[in-house]
């Protein structure tokens, strides 16, 4: 910081040296080199000044990580065994966002959505759970300082787990390639690093036409 | 720019392939026919009705359903295949003991669209019913009928029997996935009901797809994993090979609501409920598949023999991987026929009795002729548009087709030869 007042003075001295040299046409090579080195040093210093001339403004975080958890509701559209479906389950969601100083930000989102569970009664008791792990590109847009909307699209891995009383466990998985989510959320900044909020999130998976809506409680860390 | 254009072409090609490669099985139930004319009629022996088969022409009435028809008789139905737009009639029948007439009731439909309606016929005792019932003579049959609402009259007259060429050269007509997809039948592909009713749509054999379950039960399913083209939405996702047959029976259904059948169930229906002869097993290549197919196919042959049915069940060898599996189970090949899709030479090398080239390979006249000299029949697959069907029937020497549009194949083969 102590260098700051000296820089204009140094510029003055160098420029005067340069002008004087050309005027009297006696500038030798040694002096020219000193001038060039001086200019480069000063350019670096000016750059440093540009980065630190507003010491009172806090550093703006460009990246953020958000994680959310909450209950979800599955839109039960099964054509077979619809009555055995438990519609209320849970979702985890996490995303890493690049948040430049614009309304729009972009990132990658994943998570674990328990879509539904399926329980048949005795005597052939079977418990089936179906879940999705999405991996999607997400776009986020602020609609006010506290509210935002998200849209994401990408793929999901669909997990199918079956537990039977007398036939053991069976696991399978599928892949859904054209899925999307939409969310609207509220965010409250606790400080420069942390935020909390909530969002309502709709998820659609094309593979088996699964849809749910989740109410997530979201925590954010900005870095 | 050139690269961009190339990628554009690739993109559009991919879009087209995705769009047209997989036909969704569109189920269309026939219109409700009150069947009032079949009330109190008596069943007629299938062997007697079989004598009706031949070429019929429009005698009187509306020509909107065509002017010439091929009549074929399945185990339980009489079907007519028109010279117009693949129109077909599928009719139940019975003998009216009061007046000695034969009554028919059913539906007509275009092979390729949703246009359909009810249709009824009657053969009066003096219009050939007596001769057919008593003597098996069809030559003077006159069918008088009505169709649609408001009603239109139609009358068909027996024109001639099938030609000597047709009678001497059995043409194999295999329904793709057990039921011809283009006809929008109310039955799911690879279903037991598809097998039972396939014959009504003109086939004399079926092609069915084979996968293995987790507990090594051969099931009839085209895709290796669940897809809403073929199955109803239920609680199961993923590959069929991840599930036991018992779980699939309980928690999976085809799109017409039927259970996913095992091959054993399909073959039993084929033997017991149809008069068809040929089964092409489209083997998808699971590990040791032929080890698990062998007892199932063996039991089907034994059952067919026990009920005096002549059936031929051949396993398709569509790839080198499947041939590798085939060779791992030499006892299968020693007992049962096979069909090789790769080339005639591969069919010869694997001692196959059938060669099954994709129709895009062309007429393959040299291969077909060479195969005939070696006793190898050639079945082209899968022919569905009438132009290609007609071209391949007129200019080719194939012994059969797999088709999604069997009504066209039936009319073109039986009427034009």
CATH at residue B60: 2.40.128
- Interface probe for B, chosen from A124, A125, A170 (most Cβ of B below 10 Å), is A170
Question: What pLDDT score was predicted for residue B2?
Answer: 47
- Could you tell me if B152 and B213 lie in one domain? no
On the question of pLDDT at A82 being above 80, the answer is: yes
Angle separating helix axes B263-273 and B289-306, nearest 10 degrees: 20
Contacting residues of B for A160, CB less than 8 Å apart: 235-238, 242
- Could you tell me if B209 and B315 lie in one domain? yes
- Could you tell me if B75 and B178 lie in one domain? no
Instruction: Report the C-alpha gap between B140 and B131 in whole angstroms.
Output: 8
For residue range B311-342, list pLDDT tens digits in order: 999 999 999 999 999 999 999 999 999 999 99
Q: Could you report how far apart the first and last alpha carbons of chain B are, in Å?
A: 53
On the question of pLDDT at B369 being above 80, the answer is: yes
A203, A138 contact by CB (below 8 A): no
Question: What pLDDT score was predicted for residue B167?
Answer: 95
On the question of pLDDT at A57 being above 90, the answer is: no
Does the residue B1 lie in any domain?
no
Average confidence score pLDDT of chain B = 93
Q: A205: burial class by Cβ within 10 Å (0-12, 13-18, 19+)?
A: buried
Domain boundary among the residues B141, B161, B181 is at B161
- Could you tell me if B102 and B246 lie in one domain? no
Question: What pLDDT score was predicted for residue A14?
Answer: 47
- Could you tell me if B88 and B194 lie in one domain? no
Contacts of residue B311, Cβ cutoff 8 Å, sequence gap at least 6: B270, B271, B276, B277, B278, B279, B300, B301, B304
- Could you tell me if B120 and B170 lie in one domain? no
Question: What pLDDT score was predicted for residue B11?
Answer: 60
- Could you tell me if B142 and B181 lie in one domain? no
Instruction: Report the C-alpha gap between A109 and A151 in whole angstroms.
Output: 10
pTM of the model: 0.83
Q: Looking at A115-129, A177-191, B45-59, B88-102, which range is the least confident one?
A: A115-129
Which residues constitute the domain of residue B48? 31-161
Does the residue B24 lie in any domain?
no
On the question of pLDDT at B66 being above 60, the answer is: yes
Mean pLDDT of B258-271: 98
Does the residue B223 lie in any domain?
yes
Question: What pLDDT score was predicted for residue A165?
Answer: 82
Does the residue B88 lie in any domain?
yes
Does the residue B8 lie in any domain?
no
CB spacing of A79 vs B234 below 8 angstroms: yes
On the question of pLDDT at B403 being above 80, the answer is: yes
CB spacing of A174 vs B250 below 8 angstroms: no
Contacting residues of B for A132, CB less than 8 Å apart: none
- Interface probe for A, chosen from B237, B252, B259 (most Cβ of A below 10 Å), is B237
For residue range B13-41, list pLDDT tens digits in order: 555 554 444 555 578 888 888 888 999 99
Closest partner CB to A172 (pick from B232, B234, B239): B239
Supply angle C-alpha B144, B149, B150, rounded to 5: 90
The CATH number given to whatever domain includes residue B300 is: 3.20.20.190
Query: A163 to chain B: nearest residue by CA?
Result: B247
Number of domains in chain B: 2
How far is residue A220 CA from its own chain's centroid? 9
Torsion of Cα atoms, B292 then B298 then B301 then B305, to 10°: -150
CB spacing of A79 vs B250 below 8 angstroms: no
CB spacing of B232 vs A80 below 8 angstroms: yes
For residue range A108-127, list pLDDT tens digits in order: 999 999 999 999 887 678 99
Question: What pLDDT score was predicted for residue A3?
Answer: 41
Contacting residues of A for B239, CB less than 8 Å apart: 172
Q: Looking at A42-56, A158-172, A173-187, B221-235, which range is the least confident one?
A: A42-56
- Residue whose tokens read 């420069």: A192
Most confident of A25-34, B145-154, B331-340: B331-340
* Helix or strand (DSSP H, E) at B388: helix B386-395
> Pick the residue with more confidence: B95 or A10?
B95
- Could you tell me if B285 and B399 lie in one domain? yes
- Could you tell me if B240 and B382 lie in one domain? yes
On the question of pLDDT at A5 being above 50, the answer is: no
- Residue whose tokens read 């480069």: A40
- Could you tell me if B324 and B205 lie in one domain? yes
For residue range B175-212, list pLDDT tens digits in order: 999 999 888 899 999 999 999 999 999 999 999 999 99
ipTM for the complex shown: 0.79
- Could you tell me if B251 and B315 lie in one domain? yes
Distance from CA of A140 to the nearest CA of B (A): 29
| Pairing, β B205-212 against β B172-176 | parallel
DSSP calls for B206-219: EEEEEEE-TT--EE
Domain boundary among the residues B128, B161, B194 is at B161
Does the residue B11 lie in any domain?
no
Contacting residues of A for B18, CB less than 8 Å apart: none
How many H-runs (helices) and E-runs (strands) does chain B carry? 14, 17
Average confidence score pLDDT of chain A = 82
B226 in contact with A, Cβ within 8 Å = yes
Instruction: Report the C-alpha gap between B114 and B174 in whole angstroms.
Output: 23
For residue range B269-308, list pLDDT tens digits in order: 999 999 999 999 999 989 999 999 999 999 999 999 999 9
What secondary structure letter does DSSP report for B294? H
Domain boundary among the residues B139, B161, B183 is at B161
Does the residue B3 lie in any domain?
no
On the question of pLDDT at B352 being above 50, the answer is: yes
On the question of pLDDT at A183 being above 90, the answer is: yes
Mean pLDDT of A74-82: 95
Q: What is the percent of chain B with per-residue pLDDT over 70, rounded to a whole number?
A: 94
A173, A132 contact by CB (below 8 A): no
Query: B242 to chain A: nearest residue by CA?
Result: A172
Contacts of residue B13, Cβ cutoff 8 Å, sequence gap at least 6: none
Does the residue B10 lie in any domain?
no
- Could you tell me if B154 and B198 lie in one domain? no
Closest by CA position to B262, among listed B252, B277, B276: B252
Contacting residues of A for B244, CB less than 8 Å apart: 167, 170
């Amino acid at each position: 910081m102590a260098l700051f007042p000296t820089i204009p003075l140094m510029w003055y001295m160098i420029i005067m040296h340069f002008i004087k040299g050309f005027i009297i046409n006696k500038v030798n090579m040694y002096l020219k080199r000193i001038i060039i080195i001086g200019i480069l040093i000063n350019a670096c210093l000016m750059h440093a000044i540009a980065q630190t001339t507003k010491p009172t403004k806090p550093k703006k975080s460009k990246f953020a990580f958000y994680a959310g958890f909450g209950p979800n509701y599955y839109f039960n559209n099964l054509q077979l065994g619809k009555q055995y479906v438990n519609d209320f389950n849970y979702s985890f969601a996490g995303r890493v966002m690049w948040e430049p100083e614009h309304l729009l930000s972009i990132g990658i989102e994943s998570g674990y959505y328990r879509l539904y569970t399926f329980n048949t009664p005795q005597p052939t008791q079977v418990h089936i759970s179906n879940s999705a792990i999405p991996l999607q590109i997400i776009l986020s847009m602020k609609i006010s300082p506290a509210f935002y909307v998200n849209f994401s699209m990408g793929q999901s891995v669909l997990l199918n787990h079956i537990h039977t009383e007398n036939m053991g466990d069976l696991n399978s998985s599928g892949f859904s390639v054209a899925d999307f989510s939409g969310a609207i959320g509220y965010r409250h900044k606790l400080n420069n690093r942390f935020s909390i909020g909530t969002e309502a999130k709709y998820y659609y998976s094309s593979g088996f036409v699964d849809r749910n809506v989740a109410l997530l409680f979201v925590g954010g860390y900005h870095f | 720019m050139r690269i961009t254009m190339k990628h554009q072409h690739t993109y559009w090609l991919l879009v087209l392939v995705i769009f047209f490669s997989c036909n969704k099985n569109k189920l269309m139930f026939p219109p409700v026919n009150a069947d009032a004319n079949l009330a109190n009629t008596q069943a007629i022996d299938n062997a007697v009705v079989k004598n009706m088969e031949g070429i019929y022409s429009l005698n009187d009435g509306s020509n909107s359903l065509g002017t010439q028809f091929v009549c074929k008789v399945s185990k339980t139905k009489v079907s007519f295949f028109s010279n117009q737009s693949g129109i077909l009639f599928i009719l139940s029948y019975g003998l009216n003991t009061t007046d000695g007439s034969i009554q028919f009731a059913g539906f007509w439909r275009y092979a390729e669209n949703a246009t359909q309606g009810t249709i009824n016929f009657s053969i009066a005792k003096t219009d050939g019913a007596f001769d057919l019932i008593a003597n098996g003579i069809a030559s003077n049959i006159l069918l008088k009928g009505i169709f649609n609402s408001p009603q239109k009259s139609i009358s068909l007259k027996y024109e001639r029997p099938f030609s000597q060429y047709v009678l001497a050269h059995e043409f194999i007509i295999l329904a793709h996935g057990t039921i011809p997809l283009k006809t929008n039948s109310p039955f799911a592909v690879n279903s037991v009901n598809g097998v039972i009713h396939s014959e009504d749509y003109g086939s004399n054999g079926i092609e069915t797809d084979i996968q293995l379950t987790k507990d090594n039960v051969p099931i009839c399913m085209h895709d290796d994993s669940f897809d809403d083209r073929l199955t109803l939405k239920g609680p199961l996702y993923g590959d069929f090979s991840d599930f036991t047959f018992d779980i699939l029976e309980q928690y999976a259904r085809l799109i017409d609501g039927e259970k996913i059948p095992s091959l054993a169930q399909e073959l039993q229906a084929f033997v017991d409920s149809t008069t068809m002869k040929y089964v092409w097993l489209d083997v998808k290549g699971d590990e040791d598949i032929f080890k698990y197919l062998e007892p199932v196919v063996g039991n089907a042959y034994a059952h067919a023999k026990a009920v005096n049915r002549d059936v031929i069940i051949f396993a398709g060898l569509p790839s080198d991987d499947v041939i590798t599996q085939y060779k791992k189970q030499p006892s299968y090949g020693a007992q049962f026929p096979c069909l090789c899709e790769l080339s005639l030479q591969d069919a010869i090398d694997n001692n196959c009795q059938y060669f099954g080239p994709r129709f895009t390979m062309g007429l393959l006249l040299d291969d077909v002729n060479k195969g005939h000299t070696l006793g190898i029949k050639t079945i082209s697959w899968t022919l569905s548009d009438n132009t290609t069907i007609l071209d391949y029937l007129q200019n080719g020497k194939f012994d059969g087709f797999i088709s999604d549009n069997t009504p066209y194949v039936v009319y073109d083969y039986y009427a034009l030869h």
